[in-house]
Structure formats: structure tokens, C-alpha cells
Structure 1
Amino acid sequence: MADETVGVVGAGIVGLATAREIALSRPGTVVVVLDKEQEVAAHQSGHNSGVVHAGIYYPPGSLKADLCVRGVALLREYCQERRLPYREIGKLVVAVRADELDRMEHLYTRARGNHVPDLRRVGREEIRELEPHAGGLAALHSPRTAITDYPAIARELAKDIEASGGRVRLGFPVTSVRARASGVEVGSGARRLRVDRLVLCAGLQSDAVARLAGDGREPRIVPFRGEYMLLKPDRAHLVNGLVYPVPDPRYPFLGVHFTPRVNGTVEVGPNAVLALAREGYRRTRISPRDLLGLAGYPGTWRMAARHWRTGVKEYRGSLSAAAFMKDAAHYVPGVGVHDVVRGGAGVRAQALDRDGTLVDDFRIHRHGRITAVRNAPSPAATASLAIARHIAAAVYEGS
């Protein structure tokens, strides 16, 4: 007989890692992962860039920074043990304008505070040695930044769960969550499942599922679609590693960059445009329900008032490949619209507070037997194994 049954809603990489961590750290506990899709990693975990971030961007002492740095080591070890792709191809964070140099220096100080390994400043000549086709005045070089295959990792985590005696139940859309004296009852239509504890890792649906469980209405999820171009195969040689811009600290998005993938392709992007559906991977996908939810939330309008100029610029790049590639050409001069084809897209679950603030760190709410992960932004995939330990500790805090 199991000591306890723990349910986890969401078969993305954070939900699967959390279920695995609970199974490993609490012998005798049976974990059950529930997801509405027919495969694991169907949304954010299966549509991200595949980058293993080294911890350059995050404020020292923040949960993001701590979990990212710890998560990299755990993920590298896991990939090595399971013979999953993990390639340290390095990253250049490139300043292309003089007014970006101070921001780059601040980023360097921040990254040093996070103990990013082997990070160093490089000048124009060394940029060319590392990336012969790149432009820029100066850059930060992070040689340990890596790429991997997150859907493959998610599938391996699911195998671990089942090997521990747990289950991954796909095709189980959660429609009700009710706390009972003896545990938590999770419903999917007419189906019912009783668990002793429940963890919500629902990504794009995290606020909706949390409300089913009686959690507060905020933060709300705003979906941002990130669209990619792909370098044509005969142009993929133009970059050796990751080439990124110096980020604007006012926004949680990193801007258009060049990302080699483990399959040999090179992505250019993403942009960040407001999606018209939570799972709006195509521009033509519109959900009236999701739109009404966005329109009825005061935070949406306050965010729009602050960032409308950036929004217009991002939509221009979405509609025009030439405009999209104009930004990319700052970092790899000479690359233009004729060197790329349209690639895929992902949708980011961006949490938003009522005052219009884009939530930038992890948020986890716990009430009784239910623990809700309300925001797990990038670098959630990188940090997934460390996040799992953090969530598992929160689930049992005070028990």
C-alpha cells in the first residue's frame, strides 16, 4: 500500500520533474501526472529554444538565479546519465551600439554574482574569432552555455515516473478540483481521481486551473507568441554558437537572437507578440474566450499603456519578414530575408499582475493540500530539476 498519492497537473517539464522528485524523495508515495494532451511536453516545454541558460540575466539572490545555477548542474548530469543531447556551444551577448556598453557591463557584474562559469568580456576582434560573421562592438562570452532537447528530457522523466510505480495519465483535462476532508478530488468530466495532495504545474492554463482549486485570481496569464525564422541549410554555417543581444531590463523578453539546435538547424528569433489564444501558435488562431479574459482584466490595459510602442514594433516584425530580419542583421550583418524561411512558434505563459507589471520571478502559492505554481518563466526548463526540489519542499513544508 502506498503511504500517499500525489497528483500533479501538467505534463510539461516542470510538472514531470516535480512528480519524479516527489517519487524519488518520498519512497512509498505514488505520483500521478494528469494532462489534457495526448503527449508530454505539448506546449511550452516542446516549443522552446532548447537553450540551457548559464544564469547571466537574473538578479543575484533571486529565486530565478538560484534555481537556474543549481538546475544547470543537475540537468547536465541527468543528460549525461541518460545519454541525452547536451552540447556546450557557448553564447555571445553582443553590444552593437555604444549605449549598450553600460548595460553589458551591468550584466557582467550580475552574471559574476551568479557565479556563471568562465564568463569573460571580449572585444571586436575576439568576437570575430569566435563568430566570424557576427558584428558588434563588444560582448560577453559564456562558453558553458549549452543546448539540449527538452521534449526528449520530458519523455525520459515520464519513464522515470512510471518506473517508480507512478502514472502519467494523458487525455485527462482537469475540469474540477475540490478539497475534501480526506484529500483532494480532481475531476475530468465524469471521471474522478482522489489524491492526498495536489500540485498544479499547468503552464499556459495555470491561472485557470488554480482558480478551479480555489486559489486567487492573480497573477493572470497573458500568452505571448514567439515566432522564429530558420536559416536555410546552406546558411546555417554563419553562426557557430548562440548569438544574443544585450537585453533591455524593462522587458522579460531577450529580443531576436540566433540559436543553433541539436538537430543542426539554426533559429532566428523569437519576437514577442500578444497571442489571441492561450495556445495560439498560429496568427490565425483566435479564442473569443481567451480574448474576453484579456480584455476584462485591468492589468492588460495597464501593460498595453506602458509597452504599446514595443508591441507595435513586434507586430511589424511578425507581419514582415524583412522587418524581422532587420533586427537580426545587427548581430550577423548581411543576413537577410532571402537567407531564411519561416519556422515554428512557441507561446510563453507570461504572468501579469493587476497593476500591469509583468511578473519576472517564480511564484508558488500553497493552500492546504494544494500547491499552485502560478509563474514559472524562463529559465524554467533549464532549472526544472532544481525547481522540482523547491516545489517538493513547498508541498511538504510544515507537514
Structure 2
Amino acid sequence: MKALSLRKKMNLLYKKISGVIALTIPAFVGAVDIGPLTLNGFVKIETSRATNQCSDCQLFPNEARHRPWADEIANGKVYGTKGGNVSLAQPYIGTKEFDLGQGFKVKGLLSQRWRDGKVDIPGVWYEKNATLLHEDYGSLQVGAFPTRGWSVADFPYGTKFGVADPWASSGAGYGLLTNAVRYGLPLMDVNGGDLHLELTYDQGGAGYSKHKPQFYEVYAKYVNGPLILDATAQSATNGMPMAWGHGPFKGITNDASKENLIAEGNKQSIVMLMSRYQMNAKTEVLTGIRFNRWSGNKATWLGQDAQGNDLWNDMFNISSLTGPSYSATSTDFSLGVVYKFMPKWSVNTGVVYLGKANTSNPVERGQSNSMMLNTLGVGYEIEPGFSVYGFGGMVNFGHKGLAPLSMPGHAAFTGVDSRVAKSGNWAGVGLVYTF
């Protein structure tokens, strides 16, 4: 049986969910109040076709990219144009604000994300927290919640022009906090605009003593007329080394009992500035710049599992299994434009550039490579909260080889493996329902 065309796939997809959505729209447009609780969230489904896809080209598919044996490509693998589907669903269940007296209020929030019917990141909640608020003293949030470095870059910046993953889920930042406290200062009037400041601290997972996890984030949002500025700085110590800006901050290893085997700690940080400018009622321009820094992390043998397989830490930017690791820095950029040319129609285009890295590592780990990703999209609002959209794009690497250090994997974001192909393109359609 021949593969279905993109149009046929979309027709089947639309028929499958449109009936369900049509029944729910009258009752669920906007947040839903259920006693003391409020329910809102989103559901998104996409189907697409992309060139130069090779999902199993890596000889050891599940190995992290900075382990040297993960570099190898399996012999005889073919790559080409393939179709793909993805679904995301994330409900938010929050309490209404409870008045505690003397101006204090408290509320709670619980949320989890499912990707293709499975928990997006096993063992990690997106939201599981409580917040204390006061008009004069600000807000204090405790528990699990996303960082601003990921969540703001993901939405609205990345989502608005089709680069949510390439922009928000790359770089040296972390995206989800598991044991954190966040203090938000009261809104301040600065030069005719509104300034909001936040300070966040996360102590990571339990059981770490030699390499104690420490995470700090400072976030500032400034709104003045048509201009919005979002600035974020993160500094993390002894989180797992990675270039996945969506990743959770826990500890230097998945197993705290193994931390004594690790010789040195890990540090990484970002400084990011993003802006939105509403040029007129129809046109919005979005920009971003991010500076990344990794300390590097040496390779450490952690013993063997029950089957006799060697266990290793998550190393980063090493020269060899017995050699040192090296620090690295890089700079990434994003730029997008959204144009609403009719009440229900909009078009968008954008670019993400992940730059080459500066490092003293004499061994190539991807520091000499770069990535340029371009997107084009169109959206139509069928009903309030229910939209359909089309998208396309292309990716070009500086050269064929290991991916830039800002990428979590060699085939991340587009499915185009930089070791197999220098470029690729894609097109698809999707439906999104927010409530």
C-alpha cells in the first residue's frame, strides 16, 4: 500500500478530531471553572513531510552526542523524504486565588505535557507549585515550574514564527525546575513603562553532597507601548551537562549515589535578550540573541549495569575518554516577522542561527559547525481558540559533520542529521486548540 499524500493525511487528521473539537468549542472556549479549580490548556496536532530523514543512522541510537562512540554512523543506512506526525497536549489545573487576609492571596497550579500520548519528560512535572501573592510585596512561588529562559523563548517568541524548538530548546540553558523558589517583585514604573523582575533559585534533586546542584535565574520584562523586552540570565552549577535548553535541572548524574565517582563539577550559563515590537496593528517583529557558556565535563566510568554494560556519565566537549574537557562559548540569534493581513489570517517568517563555538579543544566536537534554519508559515483562526496552520522551512549546516555545540543532537529539531546531509527542507499542516 502506497504512503498517503500529505493532503490525504491532513484530511484524515482533520476528520478525526474536528468532530470532537466542534462538540467542545461551545463549552470550553476560554478557561473552565470547576468549583474552586480552573482548567485551561492546549492540544496541537501536526503532520509533515521532510527531506533527508534518517532516524536510525547513528550506530548507537540512544547514546548522548558527546560520547565519542555516538559519533559513528551505521553502514548501509539510507535517508530520504519521510512523513511524520506529532501531537502535544498540556492541560493546566489551577486553583482560584484564596484570600488569606491583609492583602495576601494564595493559589496552586498543576500541569503536565504529553507528546504523542506519552509524558513528555518522564519523572518531571511542568507545573507543580504554589504561589503566595501580595500587591505591595510581590509574589513567591515554590515547587516545580519552567524557567523563563525556556518558557518565554518557546512562547511567544519561538511559537509565533515556527522556531519554538530550534530557538528555545537549544543552547546552554535549562528549561524545567523541580525544586525551586521564585520571587517576583511588584510591578514598577520605569521611564513611562512597566518593569517586572524575578529571581529564581533551584537546589536540584536530593542526595547530592559532593557536587551540590545550584541554579540561579534573573528575569526582567519591560513593556513600553509597542515595545516589549525580555532579558534572562541563568547560572547553573552541577546540573547534567547538555545543550538542550528544554532539559530539566536535577543533578550532575541521574543517580545521586554515583556522584562521588565524578572528579569535577559542571557549570553552564546563558545570557539572553529578546524583543517584540508592534510596528502597527498588523505587523510584529521579534528578535533574540543568546550567549552560551559551558565549562565542559570530563568522561567518568560509573561501573556496569546488571547486564555487564559499561555505564558512563554525560560528558561534554572532551578530547578523549581519558583526557580533559574544555570550556566553550557560542552565540545564537533569532529573527521573525508576523503579519496579520486579515482579521483571521496571518503569515510569518523567521530565521534561527546557531553559531560556531570558541573552545581550546583540539578535537572536533562540532565547534566548527553552524546551523541556519529558515521558516515560513500561514495561520487561520476557524473559531476563537481553534486554528489551522501550514508551515515550511529549510535547514543548512555550515558543513557536513558533527552538529553545532548548541544542538542537543546531530538530528535535533528537523530530523536532518548533520553527519549525513548538509541541508534539508520540510512542509506540513497542523491544528491547535487552546482553552
TM-score (norm 2): 0.23
TM-score (norm 1): 0.24
- Between Structure 1 and Structure 2, the one with more helix by share is 1
- Between Structure 1 and Structure 2, the one with more strand by share is 2
Larger Rg: 2
